[in-house]
Amino acid sequence: MSHQIIIQPSGHVFQVEPGETILEAALREGYSLPYGCRNGSCGICKGKIIQGTVDYGHYSEETLTEEEKQAGYALFCCASPLSDVVIECHEISATKDIEIKTLPCRVQKLELVAPDVMIVSLKLPTNQRLQFLAGQYIDILLKEGKRRSFSLANAPHDDEFLQLHVRNYPGGAFTEHVFTQMKVKDMLRFTGPLGSFFLREAPADDTAIIFLASGTGFAPIKSILEHIFYQENNRNEKRKITLYWGARTKADLYLIDLAQSWQQQHGNFTFIPVLSEPLPSDNWHGRTGLVHEAVMQDHQNLEKYQVYACGAPVMVKAAYHDFTGHRNLPKDAFFSDVFTPSAGNTQVNQKS
Ligand SMILES: Cc1cc2nc3c(=O)[nH]c(=O)nc-3n(C[C@H](O)[C@H](O)[C@H](O)COP(=O)(O)OP(=O)(O)OC[C@H]3O[C@@H](n4cnc5c(N)ncnc54)[C@H](O)[C@@H]3O)c2cc1C
Ligand code: FES
């Protein structure tokens, strides 16, 4: 039996069919609720149940704590309604009109840019272009219904090829294939664009931006930055932007020259690379330690900032906790994409 959902404060109404989650039904109806992993790991889709009851579905207990459940919160990517439900959630208008497509594509280029990072360029069929917002991702469709998410690293204006930055996970169903068997001209299928990690309006003219990347979390940030720099050519207003990019060794900062060239070309942009385990051969004189701690050292007050964090779950979680808890960053000024493993690999609980 289907159930009705009302979204507050917008008042939008939609039906959830049996077997659907609240998020699936909302996206099907064209309502853009915020989301990231869609498997109960990142917490981006968390919202309040104002009225009615839900089956909470499969989720990680770290992502939705018992206290949060008691306070009325649920993960909309996991929860299905058991009655008509009223939810509280801020919709994102920006993605509403972008069509999510499933398309074939061909591998155009494979570039090994670090021992465990491959840049994969994908070519769409002639006459096809993918409309997307800088920072969004696509799902590569594998056999047996499996999918793997990858952020688009090219900016929307530079869309002849789609660019993915793929880190190798030894034994990984998809990434091991990329590193050992994939060849130029191979065919793939994907669905996208997906996700809500994209640049938001500045609440005030003097709101500065911090981008925080770990490893291949650089990919969507590259897309957003190239989009900002492209638009700045047509605008006078330039927001102050700092990119902190964390990795273990220098080789893991696989596009460091590009980031350094942005700093030379754009007076409003600063690049701070941070290594956690530099090798003696790196001859590194730059910042060391954990990347989010470098931000903590440099900023005592993040009240007038927006932070965009992307990459390893542990880094994103620590950044959110420390910036909002100890540096006055408003909770609604933190945006993230978390590179969580796919559902089959995630530790999940079933609660209802
Ligand atoms: C929204 C989103 C965007 C993403 N964008 C990117 C991207 O731009 N670049 C990129 O390199 N990856 C990205 N990822 C991660 C990517 O989707 C896959 O999880 C990853 O490539 C591993 O897939 P696999 O099939 O090779 O490994 P699997 O077969 O899924 O797993 C193999 C082994 O690796 C471990 N593992 C898998 N993924 C991770 C992970 N993310 N962190 C730690 N351990 C893991 C598993 O636990 C398992 O032990 C993104 C994930 C999400 C949710
Ligand atoms: S989108 Fe629901 S927890 Fe990630």
pLDDT in tens, 196-246: 899 988 888 889 999 999 999 999 999 999 999 987 765 666 889 999 999
Is 64 found in the same domain as 36? Answer: yes
Residue 236's CB: how many other CB atoms inside 10 A? 5
Task: Flag whether 318 is in a domain.
Answer: yes
Closest C-alpha to ligand 1, atom 32: 172
Residue 338: strand pairing partners: 311
Q: Which ligand is nearest to the CA of 340?
A: 1
Is 130 found in the same domain as 36? Answer: no
In angstroms, the CA 80 to CA 16 distance is 8
Residue 232 confidence (pLDDT): 79
Residue 83's domain is classified under what CATH number?
3.10.20.30
Indicate if ligand 2 lies below 6 Å from the C-beta of 49: no
Residue partners of 325: CB distance under 8 A and separation at least 6: none
Ligand 1 centroid to Cα of residue 340, in Å, is 6
Is 84 found in the same domain as 37? Answer: yes
Model pTM?
Answer: 0.84
Is 175 found in the same domain as 73? Answer: no
314: phi > 0 → left, psi -120 to 50 → alpha, else beta; which?
alpha
Is 329 found in the same domain as 302? Answer: yes
Closest by CA position to 138, among listed 129, 146, 147: 147
> 120, 345, 348: which to mutate for ligand 1, most atoms within 8 A of CB?
345
Indicate if ligand 2 lies below 6 Å from the C-beta of 36: yes
The runs of H, that is alpha helices, within the chain are 22-28, 66-70, 175-180, 218-232, 256-265, 291-298, 313-326
Indicate if ligand 2 lies below 6 Å from the C-beta of 75: yes
- 59 CA: nearest ligand 2 atom: 3
> 39, 149, 351: which to mutate for ligand 2, most atoms within 8 A of CB?
39
Ligand 2 centroid to Cα of residue 158, in Å, is 29
Indicate if ligand 2 lies below 6 Å from the C-beta of 35: yes
How high is the mean pLDDT of the chain? Answer: 91
Task: Flag whether 44 is in a domain.
Answer: yes
Q: Which ligand is nearest to the CA of 167?
A: 1
Please write the tens of the pLDDT for every residue from 264-314: 999 999 999 999 999 999 999 999 999 999 999 999 999 999 999 999 999
Residue 229's domain is classified under what CATH number?
3.40.50.80
How many folded domains does the chain comprise? Answer: 3
Question: Ligand 1 pocket: which residues have CB below 6 Å?
Answer: 36-37, 137, 148-151, 165-167, 169, 171-175, 195, 216, 219, 337, 339-342, 345
Domain boundary among 88, 116, 131: 88
Domain boundary among 133, 166, 194: 194
Residue 347 confidence (pLDDT): 33
Is 182 found in the same domain as 84? Answer: no
Q: Which tokens go with 182?
A: 């994939």
In angstroms, the CA 272 to CA 242 distance is 7
Is 217 found in the same domain as 171? Answer: no
Is 123 found in the same domain as 190? Answer: yes
pLDDT tier at 316, thresholds 50, 70, 90: very high
Domain boundary among 194, 220, 244: 194
Share of the chain above pLDDT 70, in %: 95
Is 52 found in the same domain as 108? Answer: no
Task: Flag whether 242 is in a domain.
Answer: yes
CB 276 within 8 A of CB 247: yes
Ligand 2 centroid to Cα of residue 187, in Å, is 29
Rg (CA), the chain: 20
Indicate if ligand 2 lies below 6 Å from the C-beta of 340: no
Indicate if ligand 2 lies below 6 Å from the C-beta of 42: yes
Q: Which domain holds residue 72?
A: 3-88
Task: Flag whether 263 is in a domain.
Answer: yes
Task: Flag whether 200 is in a domain.
Answer: no
Please write the tens of the pLDDT for every residue from 133-150: 999 999 999 988 899 999
Closest C-alpha to ligand 1, atom 37: 341
